[in-house]
């Protein structure tokens, strides 16, 4: 806790500083989004946090946890709040559904953007969370917002239809109820998961399709009960290193058991990045170009001789039968500036091919870096292959088709 900041800096000044830092990074682009973030007292929705923590632009404030200690509810980091509100592009008078009530802070921002508290509905499955949100909203003068305890995957049909739907929890799929409760031309912003990674996707609902307008990196607490689509299992005898994949991917766990004990093949791409330069676009690209991409989770204390991914907690990996490759990096010093070269480590019979292929993908990404985003369209699950413009990622309620436009 920063007691000095709490004692000498007003919440208004801290909000102004918080907003300035968020805007410097390219968020809160819309004037109305900047306005409501500057006006709504964020600290009053997280009274257990210090003023400094409440206004940290990059820090979420955890307010509720599962019994095992994992977070269940939080006030999202201000930059994420701004990012998603930019994507949502609320207009005055819009009716809005929020999935995941959290502290009530986001609902208050939505009410300000809509101009009418009664237009905002927020739902959460946990009664402790909705009680907290109700209490915070009442204390800050937003008692007209509808707070509902229930399954967010079902939406809130009694208040539908909605002009805007925003999910502040991360689903593996887009529940069919959300499609039905969104008006034609309406917008949905959702931290959607596919191929092991999560992206905040801004969709517009048009002609029965959800067409992405924007795709941004983010991470959220998972939607409760929405875990049947992403699979996870250890690939080492001690159970510490795990693979995560989607259920439509043909992963053979028995074939992969002990794969990291097999001879290692390493390849380097000659592509370098600075220490603070993003590389997540490689993963996004792989979800478009390679159906074999999964996620590898490696404990931070794992010896590099065992497994050396670019990011221990989560790194893209390619799986083919009994072979696996993952993204790695090594430090290079050039012209007195430190840079990291991107490469691939692979194990198994197809190690050499997988490592070379991953390096090819790194080089292809490097031509555009993160400036080039794919198109993403969600089709209903019963859409036949013949009506799809490309190979899908199949989920329960939807079929995702990602592609790069031909230049």
Catalytic residues: 76
User: Three-state SS for 300?
Assistant: coil
Whether the upstream peptide bond of residue 384 has omega within 30° of 0, thus cis, is no
Helix (H) or strand (E) holding 198: strand 197-206
- The maximal CA–CA distance of the chain, rounded, in angstroms, is 64
Distance CA 174, CA 153 (A): 8
Q: Which residues of 323-344 are buried (b: 16+ CB within 10 A; e: fewer)?
A: bbbbbbbeeeeeeeeebbbbbb
The DSSP bridge partners found for residue 317 are: 294, 326
- Which residues 6+ apart lie within 8 Å of 331 measured at CB? 338, 339, 340, 341
The DSSP bridge partners found for residue 271 are: none
CB count, 10 Å around CB of 31? 8
């Amino acid at each position: 806790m920063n007691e000095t900041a709490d004692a000498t800096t007003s919440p208004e000044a801290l909000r102004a500083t918080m907003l300035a830092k968020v805007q410097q990074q390219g968020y809160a682009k819309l004037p109305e989004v900047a306005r409501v973030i500057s006006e709504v007292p964020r600290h009053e929705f997280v009274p257990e946090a210090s003023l400094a923590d409440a206004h940290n632009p990059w820090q979420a404030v955890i307010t509720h946890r599962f019994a095992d200690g994992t977070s269940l509810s939080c006030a999202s980091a201000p930059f994420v709040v701004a990012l998603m509100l930019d994507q949502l592009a609320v207009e005055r008078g819009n009716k809005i559904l929020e999935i995941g009530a959290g502290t009530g802070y986001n609902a208050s921002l939505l009410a300000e953007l809509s101009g009418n508290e009664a237009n905002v509905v927020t739902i959460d499955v946990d009664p402790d969370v909705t009680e907290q949100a109700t209490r915070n909203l009442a204390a800050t003068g937003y008692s007209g917002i509808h707070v509902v305890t229930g399954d967010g995957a079902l939406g809130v049909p009694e208040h539908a239809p909605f002009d805007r739907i925003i999910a502040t929890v991360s689903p593996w799929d887009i529940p069919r109820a959300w499609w039905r409760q969104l008006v034609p031309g309406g917008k949905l912003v959702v931290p959607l998961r596919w191929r092991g990674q999560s992206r905040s996707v801004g969709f517009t609902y048009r002609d029965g399709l959800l067409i992405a307008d924007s795709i941004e990196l983010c991470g959220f607490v998972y939607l409760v009960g929405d875990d049947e689509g992403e699979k996870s299992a250890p690939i080492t005898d001690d159970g510490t290193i795990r693979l995560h994949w989607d259920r439509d991917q043909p992963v053979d766990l028995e074939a992969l058991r002990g794969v990291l004990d097999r001879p290692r093949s390493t390849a380097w791409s000659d592509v370098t990045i600075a220490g603070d330069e993003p590389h997540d676009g490689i993963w996004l690209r792989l979800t478009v170009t390679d159906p074999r991409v999964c996620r590898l989770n490696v404990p931070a204390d794992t010896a590099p001789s065992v497994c050396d991914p670019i990011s221990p907690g989560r790194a893209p990996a390619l799986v083919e039968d009994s072979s696996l490759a993952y993204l790695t990096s090594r430090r290079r010093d050039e012209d007195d500036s430190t840079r990291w070269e991107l490469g691939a480590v692979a194990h198994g019979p197809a190690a050499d091919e997988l490592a070379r292929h991953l390096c090819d993908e790194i080089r292809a990404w490097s031509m555009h870096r993160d400036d080039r985003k794919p198109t993403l369209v969600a089709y209903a699950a019963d859409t036949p292959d013949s009506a799809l413009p490309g190979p899908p990622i199949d989920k329960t309620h939807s079929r995702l088709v990602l592609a790069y436009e031909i230049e």
